Structure 1
Amino acid sequence: MLRTVAVIGAGLIGTSIAQSLSAGGATVYLTDREPMAALTAAALGAGLATQPPGPVDLAVLAVPPADIAPTLKDAQLRGLARAYTDVGSVKAQAFQAIERLGCDTRTYLGGHPMAGGERSGPLAARPDLFEGRVWALVPTTDTSQNTWDTVRALVDLCGGVPLVMDPDGHDRAVALVSHAPHLVASLMAARLEHAADREVSMAGQGLRDVTRIAAGDPALWLDILSANAGTVADILDDLADDLDRTILALRGLTDSNKAADAEAAEALTALLTRGCAGHSRIPHKRDAPQGSYVTVSVLIGDQPGELARVFTDVGAAGVNIEDVFIDHAPGQVTGLVELLVTADAAPRLTRALRMPSTILTR
């Protein structure tokens, strides 16, 4: 059981962890280089904005990757805790710095909850942020059993799903599923900066999905990318090769030569097929077959209670919603709610919602 925890860094992740632990009965002590951040987190029920009176069970280092090693060294010299973990999104560089500074690696177990949001800071925190989310655990070569047990208790209390990895494997994985996608989203969003208002007004849910994460804090993302730059660059090299071939294929479609046109169409079809194959590998609900969900679309008005009405009708039909997307219609008084449900439940839900029987396969 975790009775006392010190959280260093009262940003989105640190405050969310503190809220979750406080709700579970632990006494949490919050500190931050900006005292107002810790005070704000405390006001949100995350804990006490003060140093602990003595050693705590666990210290959580919710600081940027470059600050993990010096923060760990300082905390260990002060005897802050009996075990230590962090939430950094890059591990190999931090581990090298930890060894270089001579930190006690027996009491340290690296961590990285795969959760977050476009907004940063304590005001964006919420205690359920980690429910059902993968929480990477990256041990040192001599992490003690007590440290293992303590950090596992943290993950369990926050509702995370532990996944043990080595530092290099972790950094390759996050470069592929998080860091490179953020840059790609930023590159696409940057096309909109000087676009005409009329063009941007046509944006639909597809563009919002592609660019959503581009709204992240640039200073925070510079820290993250700097710590994993080489691995991210390798992935973007491969992406650039595909992009070059895609551009050539698109140019080929404008060629009056039928042979060139056919070759270009074949190349684009191959790319789109690979995209479908890759998308099908993204994890969904545990134990659910890939591609087993379909989308039921519901048009709703912009009045209080409309969403509640839809969910009430869904519950009355005995259908479980696997995921939900809301596509707002700019300047309109309607919106489109997309409900992802199992294939066998879709016709029943369609009838219950008194909709046309058209079901869009996602």
Structure 2
Amino acid sequence: MAEHNAQLPNSYLKGPVVVFGTGLLGTSIGLGLSQRGLRVLLSDPSPSALSVAVDIGAGIPLGTDPGVWPELVVVAAPPDVCARVVADALERFPAAFVVDVASVKGAILRELAELSAKTPLDLSRYVGTHPMAGRERAGAVSARGELFNAMPWVVCPHAGSSAAAVQAAQNLGLDLGAVLSQFSPEEHDEAVALVSHLPQMMASLVAARLQDAAPHALSLAGNGLRDVTRIAASDASMWVPIMSANAEPIAAILHAVHEDLIKLIGTLDGPAAPGASLAMAKLISAGNAGQARIPGKHGGPAQPYAWLSVLVDDEPGQIAQLLTEIGEIGVNLEDLRLDHSSGRNAGIVEISVLPAKRDVLIDELAVRGWKVLQ
């Protein structure tokens, strides 16, 4: 058990790899690496979670064998316990590089520094990372070896990280098919506070307003409300440690949002006052400008796609048939959303295409008998 795996074709890591934590991310990492032929050893404080991860092929139990000498240890633990697991891994495996995949970096690094001040740790072997991937469902049973394919994987070395440790962290992301980027821990936490944590807070705040809403009011809900509140269904047990660990950057952004809200409330308190209409228009325009900066397809600049809606019967195979015929017409689908027609046993498929293709697609679908809602 003490020797490394042989170098595998098209594999950046040599192995073995130890994974602490067999939730969605840890098990998905184990599955992805195992599928490449790497030897993966798993550990989790929950015997049942570990058993599920082993049963679906993510690796084998680590146990307590002191003869295991991994190349890399991956810590897939929540932010509030992550630093302690990283510290234990650094001590237990003195020749291994150690990475974590938690969604915050600064708080973990600060806690590691405090732990190292009491019992010195070789933090040169540690690098924080964050795969920007997930699913609506948590746990090992939801894991997928392809979870990280083409998804961002942020490598966040600290000032003391060795070049070899950084390379090992990058190799992990490459072996899992991710797209690498590199941020400092501080840059990472500020970035995810804006693009990940703030949307969660705002979605939860909006959805909370719906608790006492009248059923007849909610019957009018469409895709706008669903889009805004989709992530409000997230697991509180996952988000509370994240919010606590990244509280300062999140709070800084929320203070700025609070100022904007105060201005908006003041405008709406006097909607007929001079300048009120201009203030409301500026708010919407600022939102337009910000939304346009979100990277589009393949990470490039956002494109001004055209939308059309197609009414489909709520029957098996209808959407598959529609997509097949769009392909036969020769139009590339850029995006798709599905809504349900209120009061009808039908669905509305909203389709995004290049503007030059919109009229062609409308005409061809109509010829084929589809009901296009323009």
Evaluate the alpha carbon distance shift between residue 182 and residue 106 of structure 1 in structure 2; reply closer, same or farther with a 3 A threshold: same
User: 1:56·1:80 contact (CA, 8 Å) conserved in 2?
Assistant: no
Match of 1:319 among 306, 331, 334: 331
Q: How does 1:178-217 map to 2 (within 5 A)?
A: 178-217=196-235
SS at match of 2:356: coil
Deviation at 1:358, TM superposition (A): 6.7
Distance 1:297 1:19 in 2: 39
How many residues were matched structurally? 353
Q: Residue 274 in 1 paired to residue 289 in 2? A: no
> 2:132: which partner in 1?
114
Match of 1:137 among 133, 152, 155: 155
Distance 1:331 1:128 in 2: 39
Distance 2:216 2:55 in 1: 43
Deviation at 1:49, TM superposition (A): 3.7
Q: Residue 89 in 1 paired to residue 103 in 2? A: yes
C-alpha RMSD over aligned residues: 2.1
Distance 1:306 1:46 in 2: 36
User: 2:311·2:372 contact (CA, 8 Å) conserved in 1?
Assistant: no
Evaluate the alpha carbon distance shift between residue 350 and residue 7 of structure 1 in structure 2; reply closer, same or farther with a 3 A threshold: farther
Post-superposition Cα deviations, 1:46-73, rounded to whole Å, max 9, x if no partner, equal: 2224447612222111111122221011
Deviation at 1:106, TM superposition (A): 1.8
Structure 2 unaligned blocks of 5 or more: 1-11
User: 1:327·1:336 contact (CA, 8 Å) conserved in 2?
Assistant: yes
Match of 1:99 among 113, 118, 143: 113
Q: Greater CA deviation, 129-138 or 277-286?
A: 129-138
Post-superposition Cα deviations, 1:57-113, rounded to whole Å, max 9, x if no partner, equal: 221111111222210111122117621111111111111111222232221111011
Q: How does 1:164-243 map to 2 (within 5 A)?
A: 164-243=182-261
Deviation at 1:357, TM superposition (A): 7.2
Evaluate the alpha carbon distance shift between residue 81 and residue 67 of structure 1 in structure 2; reply closer, same or farther with a 3 A threshold: farther
Runs of 4+ in 1 over 3 A off after TM superposition: 49-53, 286-289, 328-332, 355-359
> 2:5: which partner in 1?
none
> 1:124: which partner in 2?
142
User: 2:365·2:372 contact (CA, 8 Å) conserved in 1?
Assistant: no
Evaluate the alpha carbon distance shift between residue 347 and residue 20 of structure 1 in structure 2; reply closer, same or farther with a 3 A threshold: farther
Distance 2:364 2:40 in 1: 47
User: 1:21·1:158 contact (CA, 8 Å) conserved in 2?
Assistant: yes
Distance 2:94 2:21 in 1: 15
Deviation at 1:296, TM superposition (A): 2.9
Q: Percent identity?
A: 41
Q: Which amino acid aligns with 1:171?
A: D
SS at match of 1:286: helix
> 1:10: which partner in 2?
22
Distance 2:342 2:21 in 1: 37
SS at match of 1:326: strand
Q: Which amino acid aligns with 2:33?
A: L
User: 1:324·1:339 contact (CA, 8 Å) conserved in 2?
Assistant: yes
Distance 1:226 1:152 in 2: 28
SS at match of 1:292: coil
> 2:7: which partner in 1?
none
> 1:310: which partner in 2?
322
Q: Which amino acid aligns with 2:75?
A: L
Evaluate the alpha carbon distance shift between residue 290 and residue 284 of structure 1 in structure 2; reply closer, same or farther with a 3 A threshold: closer
Q: TM-score, normalised by structure 1?
A: 0.91
Q: Which amino acid aligns with 2:187?
A: G
SS at match of 1:349: helix
Deviation at 1:249, TM superposition (A): 1.5
Distance 1:95 1:42 in 2: 30
Evaluate the alpha carbon distance shift between residue 72 and residue 287 of structure 1 in structure 2; reply closer, same or farther with a 3 A threshold: closer
Deviation at 1:329, TM superposition (A): 4.1
Evaluate the alpha carbon distance shift between residue 124 and residue 309 of structure 1 in structure 2; reply closer, same or farther with a 3 A threshold: same
Q: Residue 54 in 1 paired to residue 72 in 2? A: no
Distance 1:71 1:141 in 2: 21
Match of 2:82 among 44, 68, 76: 68
User: 1:62·1:88 contact (CA, 8 Å) conserved in 2?
Assistant: yes
> 1:42: which partner in 2?
54
Q: Greater CA deviation, 311-320 or 51-60?
A: 51-60
User: 2:52·2:141 contact (CA, 8 Å) conserved in 1?
Assistant: yes
